[in-house]
């Protein structure tokens, strides 16, 4: 499968970024048809995930092969952000979190907490900590999941990133901190796909 960058889990980061990709007709038939669930179904994302489940890979093509016609009535606008988020979280749980016993969410802010709340109860229990650089978040010491149905509300430690343990699910957008986040990540000498994955 080739294409311009296409992220498996995120819209920012070095893995691979959507939206343009292509494959042979033979591979298309092997993976299966697009989900014809109708308006609001992210059929291209679901097809891509099935491609990965069947052992497909991704290769970057460094030239423009396609031009899009964009118009306000395009079907792509019928897919809700929440629908895509739900599919991405389910795929993250299936492909990554099911193999981990504990992990750290890198971002104690809005996006990191949103990811935590979206996880299944079993995967919420695997979150050892949040980590961040924001001293205000770190000084609070814990994130308390008030919406939990448990009698004792889960309290997850918030640590400085240097004090946190991999593996990490990173919920920080790249290229937004003047390179500071990228430098912090580089300091830890971690390997993407083993010690961390981007999810944003």
Determine, yes or no, domain membership for 66: yes
Residue 13 structural domain: 2-78
Q: What is the pTM of this model?
A: 0.70
Same domain (yes/no): 6, 63 = yes
- Where the chain has pLDDT below 50, the residues are 1-15, 17
Which H or E element spans position 135? helix 135-140
Q: Do both 106 and 190 map to the same domain?
A: yes
What's the confidence (pLDDT) of residue 151?
A: 82
Residue 94 lies in a domain: no
Best CA proximity match to 168, nearest among 106, 111, 112: 106
d(CA 133, CA 114): 18
> Do 70 and 113 belong together in one domain?
no
Token pair recorded at residue 13: 């980061």
Same domain, 188 and 125: yes
Say if residue 120 is in the same domain as residue 193: yes
Tokens of 125: 């229990």
Inside any domain, residue 88: no
Do 112 and 73 share a structural domain? no
Residue 93 lies inside a defined structural domain of this protein: no
Instruction: Report how far residue 33's alpha carbon sits from residue 134's, in angstroms, rounded to the nearest whole number.
Output: 45
Q: Same domain, yes or no, for 117 and 187?
A: yes
Total domains in the chain come to 2
Long-range contacts of 60-66 (CB under 8 A, 24+ apart): 60/2, 60/3, 60/4, 60/5, 60/16, 61/2, 61/3, 61/4, 65/20, 65/22, 66/20
- pLDDT tens, 55-98? 888 777 777 777 766 666 555 555 667 778 888 899 899 989 99
Tell me, yes or no, whether 111 and 145 share the same domain.
yes
Q: How far from chain centre, in Å, is Cα 16?
A: 11
In the prediction, which pLDDT does 17 show?
A: 47
The pLDDT, as a whole number, for residue 119 is 95
Q: Is residue 85 one of the residues assigned to a domain? A: no
Structure tokens that stand for 129 in this block: 């900590």
φ and ψ at 46, to 5 degrees? -65, -40
């Amino acid at each position: 499968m080739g294409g311009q960058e296409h992220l498996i889990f995120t819209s920012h980061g070095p893995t691979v970024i959507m939206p343009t990709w292509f494959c042979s007709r033979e591979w298309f038939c092997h993976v299966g048809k697009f989900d014809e669930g109708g308006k609001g179904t992210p059929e291209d994302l679901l097809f891509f995930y099935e491609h990965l489940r069947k052992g497909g890979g991704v290769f970057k093509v460094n030239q423009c092969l396609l031009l899009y016609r964009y118009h306000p009535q395009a079907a792509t606008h019928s897919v809700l952000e929440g629908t895509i988020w739900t599919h991405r979280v389910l795929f993250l749980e299936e492909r990554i979190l099911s193999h981990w016993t504990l992990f750290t969410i890198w971002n104690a802010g809005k996006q990191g907490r949103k990811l935590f709340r979206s996880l299944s109860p079993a995967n919420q229990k695997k979150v050892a900590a949040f980590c961040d650089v924001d001293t205000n978040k770190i000084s609070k010491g814990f994130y308390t999941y008030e919406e939990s149905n448990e009698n004792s509300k889960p309290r997850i430690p918030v640590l400085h990133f240097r004090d946190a343990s991999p593996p990490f699910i990173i919920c920080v957008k790249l290229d937004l901190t003047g390179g500071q986040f990228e430098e912090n990540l580089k300091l830890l000498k971690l390997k993407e796909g083993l010690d961390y994955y981007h999810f944003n």
